[in-house]
Amino acid sequence: MSSVAVVLFTSDLRLHDHPVLCAALRDADEVVPLFVRDDAVHRAGFDAPNRLAFLADCLADLDAGLRDRGGRLILRRGGTAREVKRVVEETGAESVHIAAGVSGYAARREERIREALSGTGCELRVHDAVVTALAPGRVVPTGGKDHFAVFTPYFRRWEAEGVRGTLAAPRTVRVPAGVSGDALPDRDTVKDVSPGLARGGEEAGRKLVKSWLNGPVADYEDSHDDLAGDATSRLSPHLHFGTVSAAELANRAREKGGPGGEAFVRQLAWRDFHHQVLAARPDASWSDYRPRHDRWRSDEDEIEAWKSGHTGYPLVDAAMRQLAHEGWMHNRGRMLAASFLTKTLYVDWRVGARHFLDLLVDGDVANNQLNWQWVAGTGTDTRPNRILNPVIQGKRFDPDGAYVRRWVPELAEVEGPAIHEPWKLEGLDRAGVDYPDPVVDLAEARSRFERARGLD
């Protein structure tokens, strides 16, 4: 009689460099590749349209890859623990394999699966360093602390520890006969998807990795903040869904070497850094990591102007409109948009984090929430009161205004750096420019923030 193992895919929708799948194939003769559409994700509001559409691509691609190897993806709908137990009972599986997660939801899911399997004789095996390059908690500070609160010392330890080796994709996956699943979701049936949303799936992700590492990464250190040049990898959605392995990407980028490759590896470590923070402090997903006793404002008109990209500050508006159109935003744009909401408008970072989660295809709790906290000054930033000026940022990172013109067509006829201060236009330069005045004065907003933080 053949032995059976279950692989529960979560944020690791790939076949290459997949420790979970490799371990299951070593454990058993046959494997059930399982993905569960959990009702809890819907109840929590995390099944945003852009991520649902991208997920549909990923599942279709994963199923195709498994079929090429003699297998198939089994999709179930309902509570994850319940569906896992059902598959175990149907197949007589002796082990269930899953990638470790760091969110509160991931911890509850693991606990419920373990409870559901108790008494069945089936073992739950949780694998580290699948979603991240280095497992959260693999390196910790001296002195008994459970996580690093500052990135630089974490990165030194991260580099010294080293990333695990890359695993080959399996050649064959045998699935037990008779195990059934539901139809895979169809991207085209998802409503309210951003019109410029990229395609998902491992095949698309690996093509993007190849093109990125074969050229643009070499200039990454110097060009990553060039908004108009769009000189970043755009791999964050694939890292979020696990269609690309963070460990493999770190290894391959390091093989390329050079300042660009090393700068890119540092960004992968930054992602790992936030995962180890959240693993140690799961409440940081919605609570201040370092409370500043902020008395946040809540001006609904200003918040709506920020969301829709009509603040009167062109670079902020361009970034927010890119988010709405693509379900993605350049990292420099994310920092500026977050700083503007939290420190210029002085609005609670949770308002911005929720809006980003509603639209970002790469939106996950660790990176989204903790990057928002970093910018808001309630997180791990060692300079919690820094404020990014949208005019200065525009002139520095979009000097001729090409990025703004791409996303704010009202200003398309404004030439040069003047585009970042349209309220100063006069005469013919102002004629025909249908663009709102700034929602706030920057100097007054700075003073308000400094008074609120007790810095005046």
Pairing of strands 123-127, 95-99: parallel
Q: What's the CA angle centered on 200, arms 341 and 64, to 5 degrees?
A: 160
Share of the chain above pLDDT 70, in %: 99
**Amino acid present at 176:** P
pTM, to two decimals:
0.96
Residue 338 has pLDDT above 70, yes or no: yes
**Amino acid present at 59:** L
- Measure the CA–CA gap between 214 and 211, rounded to whole angstroms: 5
Largest CA distance in the chain: 85
Residue 428 has pLDDT above 80, yes or no: no
- Measure the CA–CA gap between 261 and 49, rounded to whole angstroms: 33
Mean pLDDT across 293-314: 97
Mean per-residue pLDDT over the chain, rounded: 96
| 3-state SS, residue 84 | helix
- Measure the CA–CA gap between 122 and 196, rounded to whole angstroms: 44
- Residue range 109-129, pLDDT digits in tens: 999 999 999 999 999 999 999
The first and second tokens of residue 34, run together, are 């399982």
- Are 14 and 62 in contact by the 8 Å Cβ rule? The answer is yes
- Measure the CA–CA gap between 218 and 37, rounded to whole angstroms: 39
pLDDT at res. 419: 96
- Residue range 362-421, pLDDT digits in tens: 999 999 999 999 999 999 999 999 999 999 999 999 999 999 999 999 999 999 999 999
pLDDT at res. 45: 75
pLDDT at res. 314: 98
